[in-house]
Amino acid sequence: MTFTEQILASLERSGDAVVLQEMRDGQAVPLSGRQLLVQVLVARAYLRRLRLKKGDRCALLAHNSAQWVAMDLAIMAEGLTVVPLYARQAPAELVAMMKDCWPSVIVCGDKSLADAIVEAWPEAPPSFCFDHVFTAGREPLENPTLTLAEQDVATIIYTSGTSGQAKGVMLNASNVAHMLGCTSGRLDRLMNGYSGQDAVFHYLPLCFAGSWIMMLTCLLRGSKLTLNTDLGKIAAEMRVAAPDYFLNVPALLERMRKAVDEQLWKTGGFPLRVYTKAKGAWVRRQDGKSRIGDGVWLGLANRLVFPTIRKKMIGGKLRALICGSAPLNVETQLFFMMLGIPVLQVYGLTETTAICTMDDPDGRLVAGRAGPAISGVEMKIAENAEIVVRGPNVFSGYWKRPEETARVLRDGWFRTGDQGEVDENGNWKIVGRIKNLIILGSGHNVVPEPIEDEILNELPGANQVVLVGNGRGYLAALITGKVSGEQTQAALDAVNLDLPHYKQVRAFHLVEDAFTIDSGLLTANGKLKRDLIAERFRNEIDELYQTAKTA
């Protein structure tokens, strides 16, 4: 059975059990397995009336919703290729992707999205909105024979394009099936024989590979998946969902940690004293430098403070947080571990069907590492400390880009572009991106990400840190957020103390407004567009090196 057959069979088995619900104005709008299956069949009937050919591309442009899920499954079940697009992305960028793959139809969540595309691309292929598909009275497909085969391209997902034009990653049904088997097996271990229905909260855009795989895994497992539809209400809706686990990006976990610190500082008194003492004791324990009395403070915190934090922050029954997209700050991972909440890290790329490594819930978690390679996947270190991957999760190629495909796929190995290292137990750590490497005028090579993370950790009010210095005499930094020059210099002094001379940051420029997707300086999934940032702030950077100022 293909993965689509397995998922649709799971929906049928679920019957009247709720498998999907979306949050609207603080209320959960539920959908049973049977109801979702009917929506899929209604969408399939609509698509068949369009007389599309097998393999035709269907662009899917919408915000997260149950209808997004139904349409996604319907497109693939009809043997068509779904091209999911990020609804918050600029129309010009969306049009560039669609012109690259030229979909036969564009499916939009609402009229405003459709109008924005037509305005930017008057010659766009025909489009229709969810309202036209899921209108009351629409008849479901009566002969739902599946036409997706294992080697068929199920989806084309466009990479975020930190530099240069985004590329369409072709993932076939076999890639997806292997990944769903791996993720479901790992979640079985997390749930440890639990025979009930997993409760899962989900806020990340479904158009991203990792988010999409999580959604499909939940449907395959018959979980109860709660979709957030308003990013401003994540905290409240998270508590309503009361999840067993959910997928995160580092930025949210960092904000959660900082919010706890700020709230306890405002509260003050005995809770703050216990919390502060326990944090120090916890850090010393991790470093193997425990003192007499540390156990007392940790014991008090575990009884009086940590349970309250867990309940207010996430709810009562959370088994684990799952985190991907980028390396998580070690201090943040240790913070959640201190609270008794394991953070399972995942590493992968769109080209590897979202995942290469996963922390094992049954194994010993190593803070700062993303676990061992998943079943059936080989990983090794090549030249320049680059991670290369081989296995059934590796994509078949980029859409109509044979030269780009040949550059990254060699002898069956995919060159990730990530620099990494692996410990004696097979746990992988991602150090940085090769293309982000800074080569100073002295010839020293500097990986910027670890230093940027250290500065962010020392400077709580900062949003982003971007190191610059290619061909220059020393490193400098662009720092966004509401921080003062004095605070920034103090943070740099603290970080520089433990760094060799060539890795020390000697100058900085403060930018009050954070880099955003809307400003064009972040990719669709929140990664820095370093080349564009350097170009946008070229004059400010030049001034840093002309004057050698540090404030």
Q: DSSP letter at 48?
A: H
Beta bridge partners of 357: 347, 373
Domain match, 142 and 192 both: yes
At position 300, the amino acid (one-letter code) is: L
Specify the 3-state DSSP secondary structure of 33: helix
Sign of CA dihedral 334, 337, 341, 346: positive
Owning domain of residue 517: 437-547
Per-residue pLDDT of the chain (551 residues; tens, 9 = 90+): 899 999 999 999 999 999 999 999 888 999 999 999 999 999 999 999 999 999 999 999 999 999 999 999 999 999 999 999 999 888 988 999 999 999 999 999 999 999 999 999 999 999 999 999 998 778 888 877 777 888 899 999 998 655 557 899 999 999 999 999 999 999 999 998 788 899 999 999 999 999 999 999 999 999 999 999 988 899 889 888 999 999 998 878 888 888 888 889 888 899 899 999 999 999 888 888 888 888 999 999 999 999 988 888 776 688 999 998 878 888 889 999 999 899 999 999 999 999 999 998 887 888 889 999 999 999 999 988 899 999 999 999 999 999 999 999 998 999 999 999 999 999 999 988 888 888 888 778 788 988 998 999 899 889 999 999 988 889 999 999 999 999 999 999 999 998 888 899 999 999 999 998 888 888 877 788 888 898 899 999 999 998 554 33
Q: Do 319 and 244 meet the contact criterion of CB atoms below 8 Å apart?
A: yes
Specify the 3-state DSSP secondary structure of 96: helix
What CATH number is associated with residue 536? 3.30.300.30
| Edge-to-edge order in the sheet of strand 245-248 | 27-32, 18-24, 224-227, 199-202, 245-248, 320-323, 343-347, 357-358
Domain match, 200 and 279 both: no
Question: Which of 217, 244, 271 is the last residue in one of the domains?
Answer: 244
Q: Do 228 and 243 meet the contact criterion of CB atoms below 8 Å apart?
A: no
Euclidean distance between CA atoms 207 and 129, whole angstroms = 17
Question: Which of 220, 244, 268 is the last residue in one of the domains?
Answer: 244
Question: Which of 244, 273, 288 is the last residue in one of the domains?
Answer: 244
Q: Where are the alpha helices (DSSP H) in 383-537?
A: 402-408, 448-458, 485-496, 530-536
Domain match, 270 and 408 both: yes
At residue 549, the pLDDT reads 43
Euclidean distance between CA atoms 338 and 281, whole angstroms = 10
Closest residue by Cα to residue 456 from 435, 487, 486: 487
At position 93, the amino acid (one-letter code) is: E
Q: Which helix (H) or strand (E) holds 421?
A: strand 413-422
Q: What phi and psi values does residue 28 have, to the nearest 5 degrees?
A: -85, 130
Distances (CA, A) of 105 to 6, 77, 126: 26, 16, 5
Domain match, 36 and 142 both: yes
Domain match, 390 and 344 both: yes
Listed in sequence order, the residues at least 6 apart from 108 whose beta carbon sits closer than 8 Å to its beta carbon are 61, 62, 114, 117, 127, 128, 129, 130
Domain match, 116 and 234 both: yes
Q: Do 51 and 78 meet the contact criterion of CB atoms below 8 Å apart?
A: no
Tokens of 228: 């957030």
Listed in sequence order, the residues at least 6 apart from 527 whose beta carbon sits closer than 8 Å to its beta carbon are 160, 162, 326
Domain match, 210 and 305 both: no
Tokens of 395: 């994509």
Domain match, 368 and 481 both: no
Listed in sequence order, the residues at least 6 apart from 50 whose beta carbon sits closer than 8 Å to its beta carbon are 104, 105
Distances (CA, A) of 324 to 224, 504, 529: 21, 29, 19
At residue 459, the pLDDT reads 92
**Pairing between β-strand 409-410 and β-strand 413-422 as defined by DSSP bridges:** antiparallel
Domain match, 358 and 327 both: yes
Q: DSSP letter at 245?
A: E
pTM: 0.86
At residue 288, the pLDDT reads 86
- For the chain, the C-alpha Rg in angstroms (whole number) is 24
Euclidean distance between CA atoms 432 and 273, whole angstroms = 37
Domain match, 35 and 122 both: yes
Q: DSSP letter at 352?
A: G
Domain match, 426 and 463 both: no
Domain match, 266 and 306 both: yes
Q: Token pair 């020059």 is at which residue?
A: 485
What CATH number is associated with residue 404? 3.40.50.12780
Give ∠ CA 498-426-328 in degrees, rounded to 5. 50
Q: How many domains does the chain have?
A: 3
Give ∠ CA 104-105-107 in degrees, rounded to 5. 155
